[in-house]
Amino acid sequence: MIALKLVTIICEAHARKPLTELLRDVGARGWTAFAVEGNGDKGPRLADIPETANVQLQVIVRPEVAITLLERLEREYFPRYGMIAYASDVQVIRSGKF
Amino acid sequence: MIALKLVTIICEAHARKPLTELLRDVGARGWTAFAVEGNGDKGPRLADIPETANVQLQVIVRPEVAITLLERLEREYFPRYGMIAYASDVQVIRSGKF
Amino acid sequence: MIALKLVTIICEAHARKPLTELLRDVGARGWTAFAVEGNGDKGPRLADIPETANVQLQVIVRPEVAITLLERLEREYFPRYGMIAYASDVQVIRSGKF
Amino acid sequence: MELFDAVRANLLSPAVLFFALGVLAAVVKSDLRFPEQLYAGLTIYLLVAIGFKGGVAFADAGFAEVWLPAAAAIALGALIPLWSYPILRFWGRMSVVDSAAIAAHYGSVSAVTFIAATNYLTAVGQPFESYASAFLAVMESPAILVGVLLGKRAVPKSGLPALTGSSRQVLHEALFGRSVVLLVGALVVGGLSGAGGMAKVEAFFVTPFQGVLALFLLEMGLVAGRRLGELRKVGVFLLGFGVLMPLVHGFIGVVLGHWTGLSLGGATLLGVLAASASYIAAPAAIRLSLPEANPTLSLTAALAITFPFNLTLGIPYCLAVARWLYTP
Amino acid sequence: MELFDAVRANLLSPAVLFFALGVLAAVVKSDLRFPEQLYAGLTIYLLVAIGFKGGVAFADAGFAEVWLPAAAAIALGALIPLWSYPILRFWGRMSVVDSAAIAAHYGSVSAVTFIAATNYLTAVGQPFESYASAFLAVMESPAILVGVLLGKRAVPKSGLPALTGSSRQVLHEALFGRSVVLLVGALVVGGLSGAGGMAKVEAFFVTPFQGVLALFLLEMGLVAGRRLGELRKVGVFLLGFGVLMPLVHGFIGVVLGHWTGLSLGGATLLGVLAASASYIAAPAAIRLSLPEANPTLSLTAALAITFPFNLTLGIPYCLAVARWLYTP
Amino acid sequence: MELFDAVRANLLSPAVLFFALGVLAAVVKSDLRFPEQLYAGLTIYLLVAIGFKGGVAFADAGFAEVWLPAAAAIALGALIPLWSYPILRFWGRMSVVDSAAIAAHYGSVSAVTFIAATNYLTAVGQPFESYASAFLAVMESPAILVGVLLGKRAVPKSGLPALTGSSRQVLHEALFGRSVVLLVGALVVGGLSGAGGMAKVEAFFVTPFQGVLALFLLEMGLVAGRRLGELRKVGVFLLGFGVLMPLVHGFIGVVLGHWTGLSLGGATLLGVLAASASYIAAPAAIRLSLPEANPTLSLTAALAITFPFNLTLGIPYCLAVARWLYTP
Ligand SMILES: Nc1ncnc2c1ncn2[C@@H]1O[C@H](COP(=O)(O)O)[C@@H](O)[C@H]1O
Ligand SMILES: Nc1ncnc2c1ncn2[C@@H]1O[C@H](COP(=O)(O)O)[C@@H](O)[C@H]1O
Ligand SMILES: Nc1ncnc2c1ncn2[C@@H]1O[C@H](COP(=O)(O)O)[C@@H](O)[C@H]1O
Ligand code: NA
Ligand code: NA
Ligand code: NA
């Protein structure tokens, strides 16, 4: 089994498009996304209108890509959008896929 | 990178409100939620009516908060609601946010 | 706290039924599922029609079950369906539940 | 004979047939499912439409005509749990919380059963007071409150630590829960906007209403059909309870409607309300305030026994009782 | 000349124009998207409405009038894969499973194409048998079963371990799949509730139907437009196949309709059904039972080639064939 | 006096009452919520319906009649940010990006406010040019582009690294964003299919329209009500801005409509468009291209201040201005 990183990003739905472009930019070969609701320092985000909806993005990448991604998120996106991001360890079977 | 805990709770949708109040109570500063379906010891939970829908709550907290949270869940919620909860390790960049 | 494995499977929605049967087959006592969108080697999967929708399955199992599950996925499902699967470590409180 | 014809006419209506189709689809394990947000959307539509229509009729009839039967409806809702509880507790040998929870479901009401009854009355040409949806609106909560009070006494004995704020929550849920707000709110909106407002929105809230109900009942059939497997779990007692109580409550409701001056159709509707068991408002409120109760019992009884029974037989039964009572 | 006018009238109908708008929006990469549950809801509505309407007409016509063309429709559905398969396999040089999968899609039918054809016939004033949706209902599954049988022979040779239970599943899916249950079920409900039932639900299932179809086709356009990029991947052969087979199958369908006593309009509809390729029922069943097949091929052919072709040209073509055949 | 009556009639229309119900439900913290995909579906329906209707009217009126007021509408949309910006920046002491973002919202338009105004005019029997939805379609984007240009100058100074491709994105969003595509697209479809097409889809896009709007406003009320708590955060200046600017812009819009030859009703609608603030198109485009702006400010102002104000008072106000202006 190969050790990789799962980076999870939870952000406002309007930021989805630029974020997926960032993912491509740092070298991710795929991603998964779904609508979520949430609550945080910027107040409740009920998902009934797109203006206050959140999206959760999940991307599996090699550890060094995870670091680049998190750093760019912190520098470029955190100051602009309400969001959080975190990394965790995952194991996959197919190498070469990520 | 700072090591924190991600606590995931999967429970019946009707328990969502008391659970988010518990999260606040133990000191979480935010949470994320979305509708899921499932199957478990209490039988299938198809999400088409709210009465049989599940919700997944995700909350990032400091390790000691995770322990309190899981313990209170076990004591107060597990006997009452169909649910599971688990913790995992995550790494974040921004300290002070959680 | 007991250490278990969380296996996450992201696959085309049409594969959901056979996959949940596989989960039962390898000994999982429950699972959680929800609709997601994604992008990968097989191109974008926008969830607006079921034919191009993805589903994310999450299942908590004992470590040895996780290995069997991943191996069977690789052998039987990866060649047939567009999908990824990965395992990660989780801690639960209730033993005997999984 | 006449009752037989009435039942047959009811069974062959699109609404009931679509319900049966749903049950069948669930039984053969078809993958047919309604998207959850469609279910939510249809529920909102049905509640708002019936509330609005009732409100327009209410404004027309005036408070003087409505208050007495409405008060009777509230009282009936609050009383039903008081006799249902001991029956469940002692004859059914159920726990305190489970008895209280089920009693609350049967005292509260099912909006869809009520709507199906109004359609049935329209189909058989039996006039009724359109403002009867006001009774629907006021009968949702009282039984829930009574049921929770009955059940709450048991929790301290269970040794479980109390959940914070749950008793405050139940009052809030009973007053401002989703279906209460939609029904009561639409009633008030309908009352304020009157016939002029009705003319504007009729083409959406009234004309297609029966068809929407038919589609909705397809989904209800799917949901009920899926629970059929749980009938074994709930036992013979609850099965009998789910069929007999509607007969008793339906009778009482019709009689009360008669006493309080409703027309034959209106009394039928009050009977149907009394006979029906809630599967939307009550489960939500009870899961919040009596989470110790086993939801499989109450939900299966309300959804897989009483709802289909009323939809097919209970509604014509109430009409038959009313016809018998109103025959000079 | 007349054909030209018919095509132009079709192209300027709101339904086709909304489809074109959807394609355009996808091509310019607009972020316009229909929520998935809206798509699911609209599908349910369209299938139930067309099935119900057909059932009412069926009950009216009687089984004696319907059985012969219905049997012909079933036979045609089952036979189409038998000649499509060798064409794909040997002229198209496709693998066994891919040939079988595509053949199944083309033998099965597209409900939306059928619905668009009924609207088209109504618009040009050409009467047709309303019970033709019964043909739609019975033509969904036979081709899928035949296609799966054709494809299953290849799997053992592929060296892949068999998936448990997949052959049992395909029969279940063919009999009780979502769209089969909705169509056949609504047919039966319509048949049982008859004209009286229709009067109740007409305002929901019939009156707004064409408008709902137009909105739905906007989404279909978005979906088809997004797949245009995959046309390169599927190659020239499949492009030709997706355009020529509808012409052949449409012709055969119209002739068969003529032989079995349908009216001009009914024969047109049978032609359209034969010409259409399934993109709902077949993909679901084939992904379950022949997951080794590449879904990009069949889905792109059915959705991005044959569906737009039929919607714009195939439908008027079938009517023209029928007019020519029925001219004394 | 007459204005007072007009306002009262407006306040008692089902649409406004349902909005109030939504606000109330949010204030009492009811758990009532519309499913998000229902909101999305209703938005699509409303935009397509209003666009289609406008397109049919447009084709009927001809380009010669429409171009002058349409050009005026575009110019007005582009100019509003130019004076709103300095007001926000210097009187309101807001940052450059926030001033630019809010200015963009107020230059752009709210489709729902427009639709409510057409319903209001219909209710009071005031005829208007149906093609006015063309103005709605062309007024969405110009202000957004101007606002983004105003705000972009500030970003380099902020020290933040630039986001890739965001200026390309804003143009794309302004031209092909969801609501622009739906409105402009439905306009063109309506124009091409004309009265014949309208006859086909009228029962879906026109007849139930007012009822759908009423239901939608219930959800709008929920959304607006939930933001009331943020009024404190946005401060008194923005509250005043959100109420006074509609009065000024409404006046200018009506006058411009008068000058460019619109009827009394058409001028009212142009006034309402100018007075309205976008809460769908602008937030999406601004979050993409000026993410440095604080969305709480612009969204709360547009949604919780200006929208309710226009819905209740702004619309009758514009009509009153028009009546005064058109009095000989
Ligand atoms: N501690 C947390 N755990 C889980 N999700 C969070 C947490 N904090 C914030 N979020 C999510 O991130 C979004 C943005 O957070 P914020 O910028 O703090 O408002 C919220 O709406 C939540 O969905
Ligand atoms: N082993 C498991 N893995 C993932 N999710 C589970 C598992 N067991 C239960 N669940 C989820 O937890 C919910 C409640 O479980 P239960 O109380 O066992 O019925 C189920 O409906 C599932 O969504
Ligand atoms: N690197 C990745 N990270 C997260 N999800 C992925 C990744 N690659 C693929 N996926 C998901 O798996 C699905 C199938 O992947 P593929 O077979 O590569 O097209 C995609 O549609 C995504 O939802
Ligand atoms: Na009752
Ligand atoms: Na076919
Ligand atoms: Na404006």
What proportion of chain F, given as a percentage, has pLDDT over 90?
84
Instruction: For residue range F44-102, list pLDDT tens digits in order.
Output: 999 999 999 999 999 999 999 999 999 999 999 999 999 999 999 999 999 999 999 99
**For E100-110, how does the pLDDT look when each residue is reduced to its tens digit (9 = 90+)?**
999 999 999 99
Please say if the pLDDT value at position D2 is more than 90.
no
Contact in structure between F39 and A49 (CB atoms under 8 Å) = yes
pLDDT value at residue F9: 84
Confidence of residue D142 (pLDDT cuts 50, 70, 90): very high
Helices F178-205 and E209-227 meet at what angle, rounded to 10? 150
* pLDDT higher than threshold 70 for residue D166: no
Q: Which residues of C touch B (CB under 8 A)?
A: 1, 4, 6, 20, 29-34, 60, 88-94, 97
For residue D40, what is the enclosing H or E element? helix D36-61
Say what percent of chain E tops pLDDT 70: 98
pLDDT bucket at E60, cuts 50 / 70 / 90:
very high
pLDDT at E218 (0 to 100): 97
Which residues does D150 contact at the CB level (< 8 Å), separation at least 6? Answer: D81, D85, D96, D99, D100, D103, D104
pLDDT above 60 (res D66):
yes
Which atom of ligand 1 is least distant from the CA of A10? Answer: 12
Under 8 Å between Cβ of B91 and A88:
yes
Statement: residue D225 has pLDDT above 70: yes
- From the list D108, D130, D131, the residue with the least C-alpha distance to D285 is D108
How much is the pLDDT for C18? 92
The interface pTM score, or ipTM, of the predicted complex is 0.95
Residue F235 sits at φ, ψ, to 5 deg, of 90, 165
Q: What are the DSSP calls for E282-318, one per residue?
A: HHHHHHHH-TTS-HHHHHHIIIIIIHHHIIIIIHHHH
Give the chain E residue nearest F46 (alpha carbons).
E215
CB distance F276 to F310 below 8 Å? yes
d(CA C20, CA E285): 17
D297: left (phi over 0), alpha (psi -120 to 50) or beta: alpha
Instruction: List the Cα angle A76/A81/A86 in 5-degree steps.
Output: 75
Q: Which two tokens stand for residue D64?
A: 């003087």
CATH of the domain at E51: 1.20.1530.20
Can you give the pLDDT at residue E2? 72
Verify whether the Cβ–Cβ distance F178 to E32 is below 8 Å. Answer: yes
- How far CA A15 is from CA of A25, F280, F291, in Å, comes to 15, 15, 9
C-alpha closest to that of E249 among E225, E227, E271: E271
Please state, in angstroms and rounded to a whole number, the distance separating the CA atoms of residues D83 and D85: 5
CA torsion sign for E179, D24, D112, D172 is negative
Chain segment E70-126, per-residue pLDDT in tens: 999 999 999 999 999 999 999 999 999 999 999 999 999 999 999 999 999 999 999
Q: Is residue F157 part of a domain?
A: yes
Q: Which ligand is nearest to the CA of A83?
A: 1
* F192-230 pLDDT tens trace: 999 999 999 999 999 999 999 999 999 999 999 999 988
Q: What share of chain B is helix, strand, coil (3-state, %, to 5)?
A: 35, 45, 25
Strand pairing report for A31-39 and C31-40 = antiparallel
Give residue D63's domain range: 2-23+34-326
CA-to-CA distance for C20 and F135, rounded, in angstroms? Answer: 53
Min mean pLDDT across D140-144, D214-218, E160-164, F92-96 is at E160-164
The pLDDT tens digits of the residues spanning D71-83 come to: 999 999 999 999 9
Mean pLDDT of chain D: 93
Q: pTM higher than 0.80 for the full model? A: yes
Q: What percentage of chain F reaches a pLDDT higher than 70?
A: 98
Average predicted confidence (pLDDT) for chain A: 93
* Domain annotation covers residue F29: no
pLDDT tier at B93, thresholds 50, 70, 90? confident
| Touch between F and E (at least 3 CB pairs under 8 Å) | yes
User: Which of F32, F37, F42, F212 to probe the D interface (max D CBs under 10 A)?
Assistant: F32
| Nearest ligand to the C-alpha atom of residue F81 | 6
| CA neighbor of E183 nearest in space, from E279, E60, E44, E37 | E44
Pocket test for ligand 1, best of B32, B60, B65, B88 (most atoms within 8 A of CB): B32
Per-residue pLDDT tens for A58-80?
999 999 999 999 999 999 999 99
pLDDT at A95: 67
Distance separating alpha carbons of residues F325 and F328, to the nearest angstrom: 8
Give me the percent of chain D exceeding a pLDDT of 90: 84
The DSSP letter of residue C52 is G
User: Can you tell me the mean pLDDT for A17-27?
Assistant: 94
Structure tokens at E31: 């972020």
For B38-61, the pLDDT digits (tens) are 999 988 998 888 888 999 999 999
Q: Is residue F221 part of a domain?
A: yes
> Do residues C60 and B38 touch, judged by C-beta distance below 8 A?
no
Tens-place pLDDT, residues D102-111? 999 999 999 9
- What residue ranges define each of the domains in chain B, with the CATH number in brackets? 2-93 (3.30.70.120)
Mean pLDDT value of segment D115-143: 95
DSSP B60: E
AA letter at E177: G
pLDDT of residue D165: 61
Mean pLDDT of B12-17: 92
Mutate to test the pocket of ligand 1, among B8, B24, B31, B57 (most ligand atoms within 8 A of CB): B31
Could you tell me if residue D185 is inside a domain? yes
Ligand 2 cavity residues, CB under 6 Å: B 10, 38-42, 45, 54, 82-84; C 28-32, 58-60, 98
Specify the range with the lowest mean pLDDT, choosing from C34-43, E190-199, F159-168, F229-238: F159-168
Structure confidence at residue D221 as a pLDDT band (50, 70, 90): very high
pLDDT at F232: 87
Q: pLDDT tens digits for E176-229?
A: 989 999 999 999 999 999 999 999 999 999 999 999 999 999 999 999 999 998
For the stretch F231-235, contacts whose Cβ atoms lie closer than 8 Å and that sit 24 or more positions apart, written own/partner, are F231/F300, F231/F304, F231/F305, F233/F296, F233/F300, F234/F296, F234/F297, F234/F300, F234/F301
For all residues of chain F together, what is the average pLDDT? 93
Number of Cβ within a 10 Å radius of residue F83? 15
Q: Measured between CB atoms, which of A37, A38, A86 is closest to B92?
A: A86
| Mean pLDDT score of chain E | 93
User: How far does the CA of residue E19 sit from the closest CA of chain F (Å)?
Assistant: 10
pLDDT at F167: 67
Give mean pLDDT, residues D157-170.
Answer: 72
Distance CA C25, CA A68 (A): 40
Query: CB neighbours (10 Å) of residue D62?
Result: 10
Backbone angles phi, psi at F177, to 5 degrees: -60, 155
Ligand nearest to the CA of E108: 5
Report pLDDT digits (tens) over E272-316.
Answer: 999 999 988 899 999 988 999 999 999 999 999 999 999 999 999
User: Which pair of tokens denotes residue E211?
Assistant: 């408008």
Q: Is F117 exposed, middle or buried (0-12, 13-18, 19+ CB in 10 A)?
A: buried
Q: Is the pLDDT of residue D234 over 60?
A: yes
**Residues of D with Cβ-Cβ distance to F29 under 8 angstroms:** 172, 176
Predicted local distance difference test score (pLDDT) of residue C57: 98
How many domains would you assign to chain D? 1
How many contacts (CB atoms, under 8 Å) link B and C? 56
Binned at pLDDT 50, 70 and 90, residue F163 comes out as confident
- Note the pLDDT of residue F56: 96
Query: Is the pLDDT assigned to residue F171 strictly greater than 90?
Result: no
Identify the band that residue F254 occupies on the pLDDT scale cut at 50, 70 and 90: very high
Give the tens place of pLDDT for each residue, D17-64. Answer: 999 999 999 999 999 999 999 999 999 999 999 999 999 999 999 999
Asked if residue F14 lies in contact with residue D52, where contact means CB atoms within 8 angstroms, the answer is yes
pLDDT band (50, 70, 90) for residue F264: very high
Which residue's alpha carbon is nearest to atom 13 within ligand 3?
C83
Number of Cβ within 10 Å of residue F37's Cβ equals 25
| Res E31 pLDDT > 70 | yes
Per-residue pLDDT band for F164 (boundaries 50, 70, 90) equals low
